[in-house]
Amino acid sequence: MKRSFGTNLLYSILAVAGIAFAGFIATFITALFGGMIFYTPLVMVVASGLALYVVIAIFQLWTLRTRNILLASFAGLCLLAVAGHELRQAYINSFAVVDDREVNLMEYQPFAYGTKAVALQQKSAYQLTDDLPRLDGATALYPVYSAFVQAVYPPEEYKPYDYGGGTVICSSTPDAYWNLIKGEADIIFTAAPSISQQKAAKHAGKELTLTPIGREAFVFFVNRHNPVDGLTSAQIRDIYSGKLTGWSAVGGSGKIRAFQRDEDSGSQSMLQKIMGDTPLMTPPKEDIANIMSGIISRTANYRNFKNALGFSFLYYASEMNGNGDIKLLAIDGVTPSKESIRSGEYPFSTELYAVTAGSTNPHVAEFIDWMLSPEGQELVERSGYTAVK
């Protein structure tokens, strides 16, 4: 018996509502499990196609055979789309993916069992018992100032590292300078401040005092598959000014993708120092790594980036976040190493500083003096950096 138009319309509304509800649930599930790029839109397309098919079937438009051909064709196209997507993902995932997470600094926590923070073979001649200086600093320098703490702080008075407070924290270079300027840290361990950090200190009426406690190499690296083994200082400046854009000019191939760090980070400030009077190009937003490990993983990782160029500090790039998929470049024919840092041959060597800003803590000056003593410098060396004395 043939149904009336009104009945067919009612059945269509109910069927479309049911499919829409099921489609909403499926869309939510695919979005929840990371399918926003492909599966969530696919679910919406499938739900729309099914709703249209059901309406056509209810109103008995076209013949049954035609409707079945349309349904089979639609299903086939969806399956082909899924197969293509999964094959593409399998191809991408067949390459090693490097984790973007920062180094686990808990591994260097002082006084912890199995800590990577180095220790003196004998008890330090200098010991603190009260009014412990509050320390902060760059990620790359946490191992060395953690070793200082382990040598001279009393274990029972030390407040362990965490991400929100304590006697000794590691909040990264920009936050460390901010904490020092606000008076929430007594000593920070970083590279030299950026121009904006110097201005912020001056605006707050604080004078930054920089005491070199060690030396380190500022290094540039490429993906290990890149045939380029070295660059000159002039080529580095040409690349980061935007003048030199292709690897072919220096022995490689493809366009150079020169990553940078966020403003006021220690490594970005060092790059700006190297550039001197040469203007630094403004990179695309996606070529700025907001954590130090990010610039390494993007250079090591296939997904971008055989044509990538990145930078960091030697100990961080080779030890703390060592990665076999990157290759450190020689600069002006000199390979970065402790020997070339010590001799002064490596052109991008730099000081590591204990920075103060007028702390009232009575132990700050003597603590820094101890860092420059044979014991303190031994810890600098054994932590993987190069002593200044």
> What is the structure's pLDDT at 96?
35
> What is the structure's pLDDT at 270?
87
> What is the structure's pLDDT at 26?
80
Look up the CATH superfamily of 105-212+356-387. Answer: Periplasmic binding protein-like II (3.40.190.10)
pLDDT, tens digit (0-9, with 9 covering 90-100), for 191-231: 889 889 999 999 999 999 999 999 999 999 888 888 999 99
For the chain, list residues with pLDDT below 70: 1-2, 31-37, 88-103, 159-166, 264, 289-305, 319-324
> What is the structure's pLDDT at 94?
41
Is 127:136 a contact under the CB 8 Å cutoff?
no
Was domain 216-349 assigned CATH 3.40.190.10?
yes
The pTM for the full model equals 0.66
> What is the structure's pLDDT at 165?
54
> In terms of DSSP H, where are the helices of the chain?
5-32, 39-58, 64-93, 142-152, 173-182, 195-203, 233-241, 266-275, 292-300, 314-315, 338-343, 364-371, 374-382
Q: How many whole angstroms separate alpha carbon 386 and alpha carbon 190?
A: 15
Tokens representing residue 359 in the block: 């702390």
